[in-house]
Structure 1
Amino acid sequence: MSLGHTMGLLTDPDQEWESIRKDSESVTHLYFGHILFLALVPALAGLYGTTQVGWQIGDGQVIRLTFSSALQLCALFYAAMLAGIYIIGRFIDFFAATYGVREDNPKGVILAAYTATPVFLMGVIAAYPNIWVNMLVGLIAVGYSVYLLYEGLPILMKIPADRGFMFASSVLTVGLVMLVALLAISVVIWSVGIGPVYVS
């Protein structure tokens, strides 16, 4: 079961990447056994945090979103996470031949999904929407995900570590470009009326 790899990636990533490589699971099984569930963690935590807890800027009043507004935004966020994993995975598969990967079964989506695991899990902190706490935890989660990417790519793709480093750097660049694109899309979505609605 895909979720069974989650703890191993946090405690012994090298051994777990070897186990993931031997599994050869399909993208469909990966989504239904891993991604769909873990991506719910930050989405549901965000829904709870923005509607029930709220956030505060300085000594100002606590700000909350209406449930319908938060639900709409969290659903879009959830869909973006699912799509983002698939798109980055396909980019990895596209770049694979350039870096000498000889695998017949593409593993790009698998790499993207398991690399994002710390971000999914640490997304639970969105239930307490304090900007400084969220930023600190987010940086830790992203940092560990980057570590998993650099550590796991050579193992999963069966290529030398030096080539894996260059490959992982290319994947990281694509991820950053996608993040900027997502921010731009968010601005467009907000401008057409799908934005936050605050509790008055």
Structure 2
Amino acid sequence: MLLSHAFGLITHPDQEWASIRNEHEHPTRLYVAYVLVLAAIAPVCAYISTAYFGWSVGNDRLIKLTEISALQLSVLTYLAMLVGVFALGYAINWMARTYGAREEHVPSNGVAMAAYSCTPMFLAGFALLYPQPWFNAAIFLVAACYSAWLMYDGLPIVMGIEKERAAMYGGALLTVALVILVSTRVGSVIIWNFGVGPVFTSG
């Protein structure tokens, strides 16, 4: 089962990457059975916490989002995550030959690398059930660092390249990931200007 890889990547990543490489899962099945499921964790948790739990700012005044606003932002976040994983997977495949990766008949390795490397970020979404900005920022920072390490660790195994090239390949991919992140932030601002921004309410 694809979801079993989520636990394996935390406990024994090298063996799990080798298993992932041998699977050659079709990108569509990988997306449906893994990415669509795990990417939903953060938006669902964020909806519950911002619409029903709320968070305090300074003077302990409870702040919440309206249910409609929380739902809209959660759906947009979910879609942004799906597009981001796909874009990163495409970039991995696109740059593969440049860094000496072995050519595959099924273009699944790039999507697999992107999806499974993002596993810590997906799981960090549970932290959003406790909507405190500094706590959430710390959890997601740790998850992002571990995701970057997973990608660096998995590139030589899944893409079949030398360990020395993995550092350059991983650095290029992290740059792409940052561009994707900035693009989603800019996209959020643009969408907010069309009336889909957060609507706050006091709890």
Structure-2-length-normalised TM-score: 0.96
What is the CA–CA distance in structure 2 between the aligned matches of 1:84 and 1:196, rounded to whole Å? 22
Segments of 4+ in structure 1 off by > 4 A? none
Trace 1:150-189 onto structure 2 (pairs within 5 A). 150-189=152-191
Which residue of the other structure, out of 138, 141, 149, is the alignment partner of 1:147? 149
Range with bigger deviation, 101-110 or 157-166: 101-110
What is the CA–CA distance in structure 1 between the aligned matches of 2:190 and 2:155, rounded to whole Å? 34
Unaligned runs of 5+ in 2: none
Trace 1:1-200 onto structure 2 (pairs within 5 A). 1-104=1-104, 105-106=106-107, 107-200=109-202
> Deviation string for 1:146-176 (max 9, x for gaps)?
1101101111001100111111110000001
What is the CA–CA distance in structure 2 between the aligned matches of 1:155 and 1:174, rounded to whole Å? 21
Secondary structure at the counterpart of residue 102 of structure 1: coil
Secondary structure at the counterpart of residue 196 of structure 2: coil
Unaligned runs of 5+ in 1: none
What is the CA–CA distance in structure 1 between the aligned matches of 2:116 and 2:133, rounded to whole Å? 26
What is the CA–CA distance in structure 2 between the aligned matches of 1:182 and 1:80, rounded to whole Å? 7
What is the CA–CA distance in structure 1 between the aligned matches of 2:60 and 2:189, rounded to whole Å? 25
> Deviation string for 1:11-33 (max 9, x for gaps)?
00011000000011011110111
Letter in 2 for 1:188: I
What is the CA–CA distance in structure 1 between the aligned matches of 2:125 and 2:134, rounded to whole Å? 14
What is the CA–CA distance in structure 1 between the aligned matches of 2:100 and 2:161, rounded to whole Å? 7
TM superposition shift of 1:83: 0.9
What is the CA–CA distance in structure 1 between the aligned matches of 2:193 and 2:77, rounded to whole Å? 17
TM superposition shift of 1:3: 0.4
Q: Percent of aligned pairs with the same residue?
A: 46
Secondary structure at the counterpart of residue 16 of structure 2: helix
What is the CA–CA distance in structure 1 between the aligned matches of 2:94 and 2:111, rounded to whole Å? 11
Letter in 2 for 1:150: Y
> Deviation string for 1:95-138 (max 9, x for gaps)?
01111112223211110000000110111111111011101111
What is the CA–CA distance in structure 2 between the aligned matches of 1:30 and 1:117, rounded to whole Å? 13
What is the CA–CA distance in structure 2 between the aligned matches of 1:158 and 1:68, rounded to whole Å? 47
Specify which structure has the higher proportion of strand: 2
Structure-1-length-normalised TM-score: 0.97
